[in-house]
Amino acid sequence: MGQQANDGSGPAGGLVADKQGNLYGTTTGGGNSGCAGEGCGTIFELSRGPGGKLTETVLYTFQGGDDGSAPNSTLVIDADGNLYGNAFQGGTNNDGTVFTLRKESGQWKLSAISAQDFGGINPVNPLTLGNTGHIVGETAFGGLHGNGLVYRFDLANHSFAVENDFYPSATYGTGPAGGLIFDGQGNLYGVSQMGGEYGLGLVYSIAQ
């Protein structure tokens, strides 16, 4: 990243590449001067020029309102080059957002939905893109028991469904972490930091 705070600070998560080899990532801070003076974060692109030289461009600067703030996970990119991610804060009651960044008429435009819209608090970990037009993700808190949840977001109609609501017991974990993966049948797998037989976390699956 550059030396100016307005292009972001504190890069978080990893990078994702498009078909042309351009790279995309996020910063948790920098950008504008809001969000307790630390900045609300940015989404940036590193585009490849002659000789493979990378040039940085800020695609979006978070404002800390309905759009969110502090994006902290690796972005997901679909076949059309649209980007998907989550912001740990901002949105309703500062509980975070899930966002889409699309290029329309040559301009990048962000749309965001508050985590509170599906009962979650503080979206965390990378999103996972399914092969049937949806993404899945996790929140650190929220849900009926306050221990986090797994949600599904349909890209076509922008609707949410809760896939799993974590319940504090030996069987179900709490504090989902690390992101999710699909198997060949579309079943989901993930880990939680706590819960399980000894309270030390577990691996869970969600049948589809």
Instruction: Report CA Rg, the chain.
Output: 17
pLDDT class for 167, splitting at 50, 70, 90?
confident
Tens digit of pLDDT for each residue in 87-115? Answer: 999 999 999 999 999 988 889 999 999 99
> What domains does the chain contain, in order, with CATH numbers?
1-116 (no CATH), 119-208 (2.40.10)
DSSP state of 144: T
Residue in the block written with tokens 């972005």: 75
DSSP state of 57: E
Average predicted confidence (pLDDT) for the chain = 88
pTM strictly above 0.85: yes
From CA 133, how far away is CA 136, in angstroms rounded? 10
3-state secondary structure of 123: strand
**pLDDT at residue 4 above 60?**
no
Would you say 47 and 15 are in contact if contact means Cβ atoms under 8 Å apart? no
